[in-house]
Chain A
Amino acid sequence: MRRRLAALLSDCKKRPTALFALLALGPLAGTAAPASSGASGMVGVSGRETVRAMTLANGMKVIVWPVKNIPNVALYNWVRAGSRNEAPGITGLAHFFEHMMFNGTTRRQPGEFDRLMESRGGSNNAYTSDDVTVYQDWFPRDALDLVFDLESDRVANLAFAPKVIESERGVVYSERRLRVEDNSQGLLAEQVQAAAFVAHPYHFPTIGWPSDIQSWRVEDLQRFFRTHYAPNNLTLVLAGDVVPDQVFALARKYFEPIPRQEPPEPVRTREPEQLGERLVVVRRKAQTPLLQYAYKAPAASDPRGPAVNLLLSILVDGDASRLHRVLVEQQKVAIEVSGHWQEGFDPGLLWLYLTLPEGSDPTDVQEILDAELANLVSRGVTDAELRRAKNLITAGFWKRIATIDGKAHLLGEYEVFHGDWLKMFDAPMQFESVRREEVQAAAREILDRRRRTVGVLMPTNEPEGAGAP
């Protein structure tokens, strides 16, 4: 659902608002024709009447959006478990588990999942965030039965081969080196997030701390599987060239026999109120300094959500956005500005990421940035800014919904994080109805210095671990 770091991957630098970030750059296609209405010209989302949903006897929910423009299907299997469900010693386990879901069952050898799927025209991927683990398949409609067989098999019969655990451990460590240890942005963000949360498990990096990566045991995996991979903790979403009744029949055949389990223990810890600004400084061999702000922000389901997304869009979305205009174009103190709201089950963070020119002093930049943010809080936003942000977010929504992948992804996001897939169809209206005062109120509450963590990456000439005074 969300990139943890907008700057990490090059394709999402310009669209930092999490909800409508990334994915298909295509415009709308298919049946989801917007009805032209309202000031933005495209508010109503059609298709609502074609989506069907049912819940299996074991509590697993299945949502289907039939679309016939290409003979393919996108499938998303949402598991309500992420690094938020971890504890010291097993950090990174949810993500490691995601990798292990491809590595064999009591019925199938390691590797067979991918071999079978690819040989029938399907591809797949998966991702893990602080909150969820999501499995994705994209395949021709004829492979539907096989995909149900494969997906249910790994939920019912996952097996752990010791040799595979070891090689996959190496793979995950390599991923950590790529995203964190050899990456200024990733390294700093990991430290900032850990400092921002002192009690809540959002403190843990999703990739896991190195010592935990080295020491996960098979028993840890088995326990995680028993706890979280119950059908009643999963939501399956399909979009594409399928007939809902056939999908439901397959779901009954393959998933319904898997017994329901006790729901996992809820995450009880709530992050205590932050009482003052925190500062994290990372010294690393690098050329460019970085500055990151992480403000405490509401959970995904918060009614202020649309206002928060609009606020972020006004700040960083596009060359006409406030912070880009002032920091990059006018004052030239940053070379890149992006942002991201980590929308999860629990209150998370609203991030601002700045890349600074070589040799600049982050303290100077902070002063300019703080003045801009204070200005927005005190004076609010203009009608034109709000109009632009609404149009950008709505257009981003339509571009995502133009593909079967985007449809399945969005339905799942709304079902899992907002409690009902139906709310997706009201999303453009939700944004459209936000008023200037609501954006300003969100700014006032969130952009509070006392509730932020500031991260600074200071370049040194020495490799890590050496020479920092």
Chain B
Amino acid sequence: MIARFLLKLAAMTSMVTPVTGTALAQSDASVHIPPHERVVLSNGVTLIIVPQRDVPLIACNALLRGGELGDLAGKPGVASLVAGLLEKGAGERDAFQFADAVEGVGGSFGASAGPESITIRGQFLARDQKLMIELLGAALLQPRFDEAELEKLRKRQIELIKAAKDSDPSELIGTYGRAFLFRDHPYGRPVIGNESTLATIGRQEVLDYYRTQFGADRLTLIFAGDVDAPALKAAVTKLFGGWHKAAGSAPALVAPARLRQRRVLLIDSPGSVQTYFWIGNVGVDKRYPARAALDLVNTLYGGRFTSILNTELRINSGLSYGARSGFTRGSVAGEFAIRSFAQTENTGKAIDLALQTLTRLRTDGVTGEMLDSARAYLLGQFPMEFETAADWVAALGELELYRLPADYINGYASALRHVTAKDSRTVIEQAFPTADSLAIVLIGDAARIREQVKDYGPVTEAALTRPAFDTASGP
């Protein structure tokens, strides 16, 4: 099937924002964290249980602080391999036996690394609670890190990156974009690693990561659904209550500096018929106080179908299938980025239009009527983000990871209702980049677009097949 527009683009904001028409029932959109239990064991393990009796399923998240931050500079991808190996043999099960134990009962279990954490996400039938805990315990406490499995996984990861370059270059453009924008800051590292670094990662580095970054003080376990809470608490305490702390210090993060000029990275993909582009700068962090206003303005600028950006690049001009913008916010400021694509010969035209919308946002701001529409939109969509137990474990995990208050969820609808025109001007000033200070990344046929993009700033070129995402030799 082919859809009207890409949900993938729509999903680029990290915490989706959502909201009522002014006249609509105001109580509707409010979302409240369900009653739950939060316990911190003496060794630092945090346990959260959200009982929801209606269905016989349990969703769980095991969250380990650190993620890509725990990787040695210059060798990204270790955290991602560690995550991938947790289920490739643990405790008494080899890789196949582990997969068979999960899938045999219709469960799911998968770990992945992010910029600041490794997360295991699982879902099991309530009757398999015991098996779920057992598998979590094995993966976290007794991973085998088998040499042959490591070899296989890193080779496969390298090949998957190459395959993505062949079939969906736009999926990788954010990775190129962050490397080009953040440079040496940890947010610039590709969490998945790159073809060169992955090839050099050995078992010792995996073991070192596990030793220094895994431990009771880094772990949060969240369960929601039809749980047997007393049994769950007892099992978790028994399994994890004696776990040692991580041997290494928790990685610290400094806020990245904003880019003060423009620079361009052109990734050459000869024969490509379309140019995929990413335009960004450093934005704001998770604790940004004016988050509701930020979400409203981004909704209007590039967060929904009728946004300013999509109206220019798709609706009015027909240049692109879609254009979106979003903020990725972490413990420190992540990026604001625009993403779109256009036929090769229209590359310059499309980028010009995108830059003009940024300038216009700053000069014209948004009207009260626009704000009301975005408010209704976000309030109307908000409850759909919290429909299932899996939604709740993810949302509570986010609060824990970034140490956010419950009001981050409970107070969001109210915060949206109170955003004023003045607030919108403030966030445009504070969080959105100006058109003259941007990192611009393009993937396309360089021979045919070089001329079109040369005036945007100093251009660095690299081949799409180059086995890295960063461009160390750039300006």
CB within 8 Å of B: which residues of A? 1-4, 7-11, 24-34, 36, 40-42, 69-72, 95, 98-99, 102, 111, 114-115, 118-129, 138-143, 166-175, 177-179, 181-186, 206-207, 285-288, 317-321, 325, 328-329, 332, 335-336, 355, 357-358, 384, 387-388, 390-395, 398-399, 402-405, 459, 462-464
Contact A8-B168, Cβ < 8 Å, known A42-B56, A167-B315, A207-B2: yes
A174 touches B343 (CB 8 A): yes
Residue B52, interface by CB 8 Å: yes
A140 touches B28 (CB 8 A): yes
Residue of A40, A139, A463 touching B270 (CB-CB under 8 A): A463
A120 touches B376 (CB 8 A): yes
Q: How far is the CB of B13 from chain A (nearest CB, A)?
A: 14
Residue of B21, B108, B123, B321 touching A142 (CB-CB under 8 A): B21
**Which of B58-75 touch A at CB < 8 Å?**
58-59
Bound-complex Cα distance A399 to B167 (A): 29
Q: Which residues of B contact A392 (CB under 8 A)?
A: 103, 106
10 further contact pairs, Cβ within 8 A, besides A70-B383, A119-B376, A121-B24: A9-B8, A26-B390, A31-B54, A102-B4, A118-B304, A121-B380, A125-B4, A125-B5, A288-B159, A357-B155
Q: Which residues of A contact B54 (CB under 8 A)?
A: 28-31, 33
Residue B240, interface by CB 8 Å: no
B320 — nearest CB in chain A belongs to which residue?
A: A174
Interface centre among A27, A40, A95, A173 (most CB of B within 10 A): A27
29 CB contacts below 8 A, A to B, read: A1-B1, A4-B2, A10-B8, A25-B390, A26-B391, A27-B123, A31-B54, A36-B56, A69-B387, A70-B383, A71-B28, A114-B306, A115-B306, A120-B21, A123-B377, A123-B381, A125-B4, A139-B380, A140-B28, A174-B341, A183-B167, A285-B270, A287-B163, A288-B159, A335-B156, A335-B159, A355-B160, A398-B57, A403-B388
Report the stretch among B94-102, B196-204, B288-296 that lies at the interface: B94-102
A287 touches B270 (CB 8 A): no
Q: Which residues of B contact A72 (CB under 8 A)?
A: 380, 383-384
Q: Which residues of B contact A167 (CB under 8 A)?
A: 315-318
Q: How far is the CB of B381 from chain A (nearest CB, A)?
A: 6
Residue B433, interface by CB 8 Å: no
Bound-complex Cα distance A464 to B344 (A): 15
Contact A391-B305, Cβ < 8 Å, known A140-B24, A167-B317: no
A320 touches B103 (CB 8 A): yes
Bound-complex Cα distance A319 to B103 (A): 8
Bound-complex Cα distance A287 to B52 (A): 48
A128 touches B57 (CB 8 A): no
Contact A27-B225, Cβ < 8 Å, known A69-B387, A174-B320, A463-B271: yes
B392 — nearest CB in chain A belongs to which residue?
A: A26
A287 — nearest CB in chain B belongs to which residue?
A: B162
B388 touches A26 (CB 8 A): yes
Residue of A95, A143, A394 touching B2 (CB-CB under 8 A): A95
Residue B29, interface by CB 8 Å: yes
A465 — nearest CB in chain B belongs to which residue?
A: B271
A123 touches B305 (CB 8 A): yes
